[in-house]
Amino acid sequence: MHAPERSASKNFGLVIGALALAASSVTCGGGSGSGSCGVQPCGGDPTGSWTAKSACIDQATLNMQFLGSIATDCPTASLSNAKYTPTGTLTFGADMSYTAAVTMGISFNMNIPATCLNGASCATVNAAIQSTVGMDGITSATCTGSGSCTCAIAGVVDVEASSGTWASAGTTLTLNATSGGNGDSGPYCVQGSTLHLLSVDMTMAMVKINSDITFSK
């Protein structure tokens, strides 16, 4: 009895960690988690009211961060069918004030091989994972399978919920929160009626786009 209980607890933690990882991957940056995505940072004038439209994350980046975060517990686990659906608005005033109320719906499959379960059944893992619903933004979590488990997980997390002042310099947009949150800063690009908030990898020879949240006027 004790080994299955420890295994279930371990995978309980994987669910929360996976959702937190998926959220952090796009927070600074629905749609999808397949292939590459996004545009290059270009700056521009963000003044106006913007409505969240779509989001994406580079699949290789997601896999690398996810696998690295749980390598000790389950190095052969993987994510698939990751989808991101942002909702909410951003408003940038000409007086350099801003308001932000943006959340991200996230869903994905977490694939847990039998070698990570230490003898526990998928039914045991399912019971533990369902108990995470209502925690850390998780809205649903169900595992199915025989031997290995595939867990379908969904949740909603805050991207930014704050107000304050904004500034831009080159291709970097900075939110200085005075109420409701911590603000943020990062690369961005305004292309006509579309605003892209980006997360990039600057260690590559060429700038690699890790994630992109798009907004439209």
pTM, entire model: 0.79
Q: How many CA atoms lie less than 13 Å away from 100 in the CB half-sphere?
A: 30
- Residues 92, 98 contacting (CB under 8 angstroms): yes
- Residues 85, 105 contacting (CB under 8 angstroms): yes
Q: Looking at this protein, which amino acid is placed at residue 22?
A: A
Domain ranges of the chain: 2-216
Q: What is the pLDDT of residues 136-165, one digit of tens each?
A: 788 998 999 988 899 898 988 888 889 999
CB atoms near residue 170 (< 10 Å):
9
The neighbouring-strand residues paired with 43 are 189
Which positions ≥6 away from 51 have C-beta within 8 Å?
88, 89, 215, 216, 217
pLDDT for 144 equals 93
Q: What is the pLDDT of residues 81-122, one digit of tens each?
A: 888 889 999 999 999 999 999 988 888 888 888 888 888 888
